[in-house]
């Protein structure tokens, strides 16, 4: 009898442990349940910055001022002036997707900073096509997008504060003049990492 | 004895008032701009949030590039700062939702008795309708 009880308990043990071992669940990216940390740029910060930049850029009408719409956009340097190692594509890709979906601009993937192409295969095929047809088919970018991400921190007693400034400039490739500039600042404050907005 | 009882009560009252900061404002009385107000349809499921941060009105305009721009005026009915999240949802001519980075949940805050505007820009010229959702911050 005793062994039967022990056996049943042992059999149930993995299920009990399995149930308690993890509380993993899905949350909405950038949603209310996202983790907020003071000393780091969180995913919702990139989303907020990209949202603000895209709205501001599209509302400005700067991308509409081209002879043959949609405008062609090239991504230039986004300087990371924070103390963190970040992938700036987390910001730029969201902006690129939004401007492409708006129908206002298309981003070149065969022209990049320092002559490097984002898509080398597309660049190779494009060059081959130009060679075969003996004519330039590449459309030069109308605009370039550059920017900087800056981190400013402050501390008073046990309160810590971080401000992340997302600065972006859209430059007219013909004139070299900035035709749109946007800045979104996100400030977070806390005494220790907390969850939720 | 009475003073002994009143002093702690006054202290508690002061502490309670310390969290309250309201906003004074001034603006031009003769408005030059004309807001194109939208006839809105509301669904209030969080009465608590609605009592604190209420929707005053919605107006819209079109950008030169043909994008719908929507502005919502909010009013904090309380005397303390309120935090909330909002999200703009956009719909095309067929009523299908268009999801982009413009549909992100955005955190915001409003000071006591303050009136403020939030705005959203349609992700593309095909977007004809919108919905704004408000969620109380955690």
The ipTM, to two decimals, is: 0.84
CA–CA dist A109, A96 (Å, integer): 11
Q: Where are the beta strands (DSSP E) in chain A?
A: 35-36, 71-81, 105-107, 143-156, 159-172, 178-190, 194-195
CA–CA dist A139, A57 (Å, integer): 22
Please list every residue in chain A whose beta carbon sits closer than 8 Å to the beta carbon of residue B85: 32, 197
Q: How close B4 gets to chain A, by Cα (Å)? A: 34
- Inter-chain residue contact B63 with A55, CB threshold 8 Å: no
Summarize pLDDT for B19-72 with one digit per residue, the tens.
688 999 999 999 999 999 999 999 999 999 999 999 999 999 999 999 999 999
Q: Are the C-beta atoms of residues B85 and B107 closer than 8 Å to each other?
A: yes
Conformation bin of residue B14: beta by default, left when phi > 0, alpha when psi is -120 to 50: alpha
CA–CA dist B20, B23 (Å, integer): 10
Of B67, B83, B104, the CB nearest to A51: B104
- Band (pLDDT 50/70/90 cuts) for residue B103 is confident
Taking 70 as the threshold, does the pLDDT of residue A178 lie above it?
yes
């Amino acid at each position: 009898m005793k062994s039967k009880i022990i056996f049943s308990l042992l059999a149930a043990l993995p299920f009990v442990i399995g149930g308690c071992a993890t509380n993993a669940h899905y949350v909405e990216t950038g949603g209310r349940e996202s983790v907020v940390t003071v000393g780091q740029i969180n995913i919702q910060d990139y989303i907020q910055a990209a949202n603000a930049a895209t709205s501001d850029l599209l509302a400005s009408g700067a991308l509409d001022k081209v002879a043959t719409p949609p405008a062609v956009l090239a991504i230039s340097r986004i300087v990371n002036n924070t103390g963190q190692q970040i992938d700036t594509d987390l910001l730029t890709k969201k902006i690129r997707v939004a401007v492409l979906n708006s129908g206002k601009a298309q981003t070149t993937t065969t022209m990049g900073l320092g002559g490097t192409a984002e898509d080398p295969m597309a660049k190779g095929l494009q060059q081959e096509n130009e060679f075969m047809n003996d004519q330039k088919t590449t459309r030069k970018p109308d605009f370039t997008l550059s920017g900087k991400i800056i981190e400013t921190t402050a501390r008073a007693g046990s309160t810590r504060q971080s401000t992340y400034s997302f600065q972006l400039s859209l430059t007219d490739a013909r004139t070299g003049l900035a035709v749109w500039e946007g800045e979104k600042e996100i400030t977070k404050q806390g005494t220790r990492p907390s969850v939720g907005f | 004895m009475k003073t002994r009882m009143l002093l702690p009560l006054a202290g508690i009252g002061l502490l309670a008032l310390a969290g309250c900061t309201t906003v004074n404002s001034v603006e031009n009385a003769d408005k030059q701009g004309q807001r194109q107000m939208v006839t809105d349809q509301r669904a209030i499921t969080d009465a608590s949030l609605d009592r604190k941060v209420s929707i005053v009105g919605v107006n819209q305009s079109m950008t030169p590039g043909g994008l719908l721009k929507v502005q919502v005026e909010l009013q904090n009915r309380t005397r303390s700062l309120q935090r909330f999240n909002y999200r703009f949802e956009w719909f095309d001519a067929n009523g299908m939702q268009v999801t982009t980075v413009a549909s992100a949940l955005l955190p915001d805050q409003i000071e006591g008795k303050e009136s403020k505007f939030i705005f959203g820009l349609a992700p593309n010229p095909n977007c004809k309708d919108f919905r704004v959702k408000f969620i109380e911050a955690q």
